Amino acid sequence: MMESLAIGYVMTVAECDLSLTVIEKGLINSAAFIGILSTGIFWGYLSDNYGRRKVMLPALFCSTTCSLCSATFSYNFASMFTLRFITGCLVSASSATVFAFIGEMHNNAKRATAIMFASTAIGITFIVEPILGWVILSGTWSFQLFGLTISPWRVFMWTWSVPGLSAAIILLFLPESPRYLLANIGPEPALAVLSQMFAINMRKKRDEFPVSQITDASKVAARHGFKVAFLNLIHLGQPPLRRCVIISHICMFTVFMMNSALYTWLPDIFHVLYTNFQDPVSICEIMVDYYTNLNPNIERLMLTVTKECDEKIVHYMVYPTCMIMGILCSATYVTIGYVVKKWSKIKFYCWVLGVCSIMLTVSALIKMPPVAVVLYVIGVCSGATASLLSAITVEVFPTSVRALALCTLYMCGRLGAAVGSNLVGFAFHDNCEVLFMIMCLGTAASVLLLILWPDPKAVRANMESHGFVY
């Protein structure tokens, strides 16, 4: 989340440093999403055939290295976009696979709650980003070090490597998914991991584990190769999984198109909004007026940079506003984690997403900036529904195709984010109201689609009758 979303803060202050147009800012904002989108199936194939941990671990170390390079050696649009794209490709390895990894560490009763609690990291990101931005990006200093120009936004980008590096180090001490081991290698290594989990959780010795043998491993699928990957894709395209794939992927596309795209532009939007806070004007009117004056015609918008380009310091109120939004998002994840134990996950998803999308649409049109900020902040919390959708989806896919299904699911999500981020860039030159209405209607359509979600128990029974393991 740090690698894909924090770039919005950088683009607000680094546009002059990198000589960026508003369209180039939109492309860089979406570069990591495009990278994740481009490689999702590849990482899903690898993690389903070689292991969740075995794929995530090296990718995390490599993404950290590439992220540091993008912060240090980018001096124009081409270098920044390329390095952010490669970083996104590497981040893709864990961005969806981690949900399969978490889900396979828990039983059916606790799986959704575990995923939602783990997803509070997304809300924490929304808190940490503005704090770091407030501390680092408020400065106007710069200096030369070994021939490199060091400025606040580069230091800010360096901090993004900390979560990835920390995750990689922690993952060194975690075992492979026992569910993956059981389905792909056999019961013995799975039993070893389960006994290790038992010893740590219960504070007992591993030889006290009451299970001595696993006998329900109906099928061991130690198969590899692109033929297997192709067959897995075919399984996802056949009933009863096909219906689940179509519904979940369309829903994830719309959630990311609305939420992640608007979040990456949030610093820009709030910066301009707070500088016009006293006027009775809507977000759309402010942004269209700002970018039209900055770039008088669409050709200039896409091909040239404004000659009068002053280094920007983000308005000081942007940071506390984003922190409040992060707190609300974290509270939303925790609340959902408790609620899904008793309520229907699908009904709760529909309510949260429906209400938040209406708030976002109203925030863009209402001519009361203080109210618009409040509605926008609450509306962006709709991002919590992405993890809730993952919890809904993970229940219906067998172990052998689960990571692939989740990776393609998040590929559609990142595609939505990339499309949305660039649409926002174009919309700020014109048709801003139309963009928000499209997002709202798309969200309404996804809510209606999820009503058609099949019974998970029936899907599992059908797949198990064909030899698949859960």
Q: Is the peptide bond before 240 cis (omega within 30 degrees of 0)?
A: yes
Domain range spanning residue 306?
2-204+234-465
Q: For the residues of 392-441, what is the DSSP string, one character each?
A: HHHTTS-HHHHHHHHHHHHHHHHHHHHHHHHHHHHHTTS-HHHHHHHHHH
Tokens, residue 20: 């960026």
Contact 104, 178 (CB under 8 A): yes
Is 226 part of a structural domain of the chain?
no
Contact 5, 59 (CB under 8 A): no
pLDDT tens string, the chain, 470 residues long: the values are 888 888 888 887 888 888 888 778 888 988 988 888 888 888 888 888 889 999 999 999 999 999 999 999 998 999 999 999 999 999 989 887 898 899 889 887 788 788 878 888 877 888 898 899 889 988 888 888 877 888 999 999 999 999 999 999 999 999 999 988 988 888 999 999 999 999 999 999 999 999 988 875 444 444 555 566 677 778 888 889 999 999 999 999 998 888 877 877 788 788 888 877 667 888 888 777 776 665 444 344 444 444 445 555 677 888 898 888 888 888 888 888 787 777 888 888 888 888 888 888 898 888 888 888 889 888 888 888 888 898 888 889 988 888 788 878 888 888 888 788 778 777 776 678 888 888 788 888 888 888 899 999 999 999 988 888 77
Per-residue confidence (pLDDT) for residue 274, from 0 to 100: 83
Contact 391, 226 (CB under 8 A): no
Is 221 part of a structural domain of the chain?
no
Is 210 part of a structural domain of the chain?
no
> How many angstroms separate the CA atoms of 150 and 145, rounded?
7
Contact 362, 375 (CB under 8 A): yes
Per-residue confidence (pLDDT) for residue 302, from 0 to 100: 44
User: Rounded to the nearest 5°, which phi and psi values hold at 148?
Assistant: -105, 140
Is 199 part of a structural domain of the chain?
yes
Is 30 part of a structural domain of the chain?
yes
Is 172 part of a structural domain of the chain?
yes
Distance of CA 207 to the CA centre of its chain: 40
HEC readout, 165-187: HHHHHHHCCCCCCHHHHHHHCCH
Tokens, residue 279: 């006027």
Q: Total domain count for the chain?
A: 1
Q: Say which amino acid occupies 8.
A: G
Per-residue confidence (pLDDT) for residue 139, from 0 to 100: 80
Matching residue, tokens 């859960």: 470
Per-residue confidence (pLDDT) for residue 307, from 0 to 100: 40
pTM score:
0.72
Contact 195, 209 (CB under 8 A): yes
Per-residue confidence (pLDDT) for residue 311, from 0 to 100: 52
Is 214 part of a structural domain of the chain?
no
Q: What is the CATH number of the domain that holds 418?
A: 1.20.1250.20
Is 434 part of a structural domain of the chain?
yes
